[in-house]
Chain A
Amino acid sequence: MKRMAAAALAGALVVAIAPFVLDGYTANVLVRSLLFGVLALSVDLLWGFTGFLTFGQSAFFGVGAYAYALTATQLGVDGFLLPVSLLLGLLAPAVLALLQGWLSFYHRATPLYASVVSLVVPAVVTQVLYSGGTFTGSSSGLTGYDMPDLSVPQWLWLCGGLLVLLTAAAAVFVRSDAGRLLVALRDNEMRCAFLGIPTTRLRIGLLIAMAAVAGLAGWLYAAYSGVVAPELAGFDLGTQAVIWVALGGRGTLVGPVLGAIGIDLTSAYLSGSLPFLWRLLVGLAFILVIVLLPQGLFPAIGRLILHRRRAAPVAPPALVPAATATARARGEALAVSDVARHFGALPVLSGVSLRAAAGELLSLVGPNGAGKTTLIRCLSDGTERSGGTVHILGQRLGSLPPHRCVALGLGRKFQTANVFDSLTVAECLRIARATIDRPSPWRRAGTLALPDAAMEVVQATGLDRLLGEEARLLAHGQKQALELAMVLALDPALVLLDEPTAGLTRSERLQIGGILRRLAQDHGMCLLLVEHDLDFVREISTRMVVLHQGRMVLDGTVEEVAASDLVRTIYAGEPH
């Protein structure tokens, strides 16, 4: 925090004295570079933090610029018209971003597809500007419109101040509890969705905000330079912004801003004398950094100068018990009727019906390929199944996407440990609580509230001593325990567990087994467990269900099922 405040102050100081030390030409160019810095900042938040590689932020910059130029030519920008124009410069990019977001982000969209759409948007915007006739000025753009009566130093202070302010705000946000959501989204979007977080809405929301930021930069650019052209919205500026961010250091905020200013200023000087050679050098530097130094130049230089990796780690929050709001109904937790799933003509599940009540620990067994994981998927994601109905706590699952299914009261633990690698243990747990305890967008809370069940797992497995540790550094068993604790942090009534003990040692297995039993007995949860290890299942289950070749073949007490001929045949390979 102290370092950040010092950096912001230093930035403000540089901006304040810049007009007095710079020559006229440099000051002139610097205004543009500062606005490009704002554009780079918006790219970094999207790409560096949430992992969405966008080539299309220039579209919003261009739309913002034309918002100013068009209002200035059509209406003028005197008096109250200036704020109207500004509003347009923020709203028009935001609306376009809503459209792009709807196209790019949906349940099961791939990152590549979102990048592809980000290429399409600037192409469309430039063509629309080209075809706008005299209204948009076509290929020659618009010029000669009214501009605000500001001197170059005033522009420098305005744009520099804005850049420092936005960068500082972004830095505060990404370090806050809510800001960690962006990184969680980048690390593991699916885990986010199964923690009840509306990932699609989050991504679209962030894109809209960043479109408004880029639009504001473009609006100021048009007001300052007095000329706009379709190229401002083009794919070329969009990819240049990606280059600035990559060279400066993605995910560092300051790096991309410095990258944009440095490259744009230098190119203003060199493009006169060596235009092609300069672009060649930038291209070369870009490739070298991508291949050899993916973190970018800013962090690398920072390490060289400071001889240390980062400031003292933030103290992890204290754990406190959360109010478990729901006095759990003792009724039916899960009702599955005639569920089927087929891929094309290949049936994987058919006619599966199943009921489970609160307090039950139901184990689902069966050989590989029996459809166990597919069934778990059909229960936790309404878009998965091909037929049948599912009720969670009496509510229809319908075709709800995962985060809405979670809101019905279910939690799902994946087969492989599914945590957020670059977040700490405490941060992972806080993300899991995000839908219940809304995280602050500007600070880190000193406490972390967990429901009893999650607290028990955290304490029993020693995770409470590792709260400040990054999740990727945990041992395999600890990761599995962390994911279980994250799922339990949702305070679910129904927990689906896909082989929660896979890859664990015998003692870890016993420990998890004990915890699972207590979750059902003491906390009244309903657990549905997929397992291979029959001995383990026998020890902890209250009931067993056998799946074989996509059909439910047995449903009974542990003794009945374990003793049946079929199970012996499947597991021991005895002949029929």
Chain B
Amino acid sequence: MTLVLDIVTTAAILFAVSAGLLVVFGVMKIINFAHGAFITLGAYAGLLVTQAGLSPWLGLPLAFIAGAACGAVVERIVVRPLYTRALDAILATWGLGIIIGQLLTLGFGREVQFVQSPITGTLTVFGEAYSAYRLFLVLAALAVGGGFALLLEGTRLGLNTRAVIMNEDLARGLGIDSVRVRFITFALGSGLAGLAGALITPLSSVDPAMGVPWLLNAFMLVIVSGASLLTLALATLLLGGAQVLVSTLVSPILGGLTIVVLAAIVLRLRPAGFAR
């Protein structure tokens, strides 16, 4: 039973971490290598709130805002000029990741620090005591997914975004300001990365390199799911589930490789991944 809860909560964490990357990939067709750095940024936003003695809940919106603001600046200065050079854009975001990481190191030092969790203790689910915060993360992931679905399906911006995803040239021809859509997307995606950073830190700790290990998993999950939140949810459940199983039944080190290796094999056999 604990295993099932582990799988569901792990999937939720992976979903929260990957959602921002997926949104950017879907609209802009680039992989944002600075995603890991934005996750770290969000984690430090949470740390600041803890250090100031404020309610840990405040860390979540603050992390989102920090990520989004940083993403907005980056989009204007670095990503926009590289619009027609997709592979170079990927490289440039990797350079950004280095810069953000080093700035955080200069500001906060290299040591590992801890953040206060907004929810402590355990809940009893199906007769098992289980970490309440991990369960809260499932709700958070659902909220992120639901919020995005609402944004895409229910607003004018969402409609424009879907048009840009499907056919950017046609969308531009119809008078949609695709530059603005891309800008908002990148800021949103970065904000989500920040939020994810603040969400995951109570489970582990904060240090300037913490985003990098998440990046590779998130990256593989996004490539495997194409550009859809639903397939991302499916991919996190399947591959995240496999990771939990391998980690508990075989070895944690192999578990850490499960997602990347499985995703690479899935893509080799079926280039579209889990997308239809």
Contact = CB atoms under 8 A, between A and B. Distances in A.
- Whether chains A and B associate is yes
Interface of A: 53, 103, 106, 108-113, 115-117, 119-120, 123-124, 127, 130-131, 235, 239, 242-243, 246, 276-277, 279-280, 282-284, 286-287, 290-291, 294
Nearest to B91: A290
Interface residue SS majority, chain B: helix
Nearest to A51: B87
B251 A280 contact: no
B268 A106 contact: yes
Nearest to B98: A283
Contact of B99 (A106, A113, A280): A280
Contact of B256 (A127, A239, A294): A127
Contacts of B261: 120, 124
Contacts of B81: 291
Contact of B102 (A113, A235, A277, A287): A277
B102 A276 contact: yes
Given A246-B91, A276-B106, A290-B92, A120 B220 contact: yes
A287 B216 contact: no
Contacts of A108: 271
11 contacts: A123-B257, A124-B257, A127-B256, A131-B254, A235-B216, A246-B91, A277-B106, A279-B102, A284-B99, A291-B88, A294-B88
B87 A291 contact: no
**5 pairs of A and B residues whose beta carbons are closest in the complex:** A283-B98, A280-B102, A286-B95, A287-B95, A283-B99
A218 to B, nearest CB: 21
Contacts, number: 93
A290 B30 CA distance: 15
Interface of B: 31, 78, 81-82, 85, 87-88, 90-92, 94-96, 98-99, 102-103, 105-106, 216, 219-220, 223, 251, 253-254, 256-257, 260-261, 264-265, 267-268, 271
A504 B265 CA distance: 45
B102 A116 contact: no
Given A277-B102, A280-B99, A287 B92 contact: yes
B224 to A, nearest CB: 10
B260 A110 contact: no
Given A103-B264, A120-B260, A124-B260, A287 B106 contact: no
A287 B89 CA distance: 9
Contacts of A294: 85, 88
Contacts of B257: 123-124, 127
A124 B220 CA distance: 14
Contacts of A103: 264-265, 268
Q: Main SS of chain A's interface residues?
A: helix
Contacts of A130: 253
Nearest to A246: B91
- Residue among B223, B254, B265, B268 facing the most chain A CB atoms (10 A cut-off): B268
Given A246-B91, A277-B106, A287 B264 contact: no
A110 B105 CA distance: 36
Nearest to A103: B268
Given A109-B271, A120-B220, A291-B82, A283 B260 contact: no
Nearest to B29: A112
A287 to B, nearest CB: 4
A243 B90 CA distance: 12
A290 B85 CA distance: 10
Nearest to B260: A120
A286 B267 contact: no
Nearest to B109: A276
A139 to B, nearest CB: 11
Given A110-B271, A113-B223, A280-B98, 4 more contacts: A111-B87, A235-B216, A277-B102, A283-B96
Please indicate which of the listed interface residues B85, B95, B265 has the most CB atoms of chain A within 10 Å of its own CB.
Answer: B95
A235 B209 CA distance: 13
Contact of B219 (A111, A116, A284, A291): A116
Contact of B267 (A116, A127, A277, A279): A116
Contact of A127 (B98, B99, B253): B253
A287 B96 contact: yes
Nearest to A289: B95
Given A106-B268, A124-B260, A127-B256, A276 B92 contact: no
B154 to A, nearest CB: 29
Nearest to A116: B223
Nearest to A119: B216
A277 B103 CA distance: 8
Nearest to B107: A276
B91 A113 contact: no
Contact of A276 (B31, B94, B105, B256): B105
B169 to A, nearest CB: 17
Nearest to B265: A103
B204 to A, nearest CB: 18
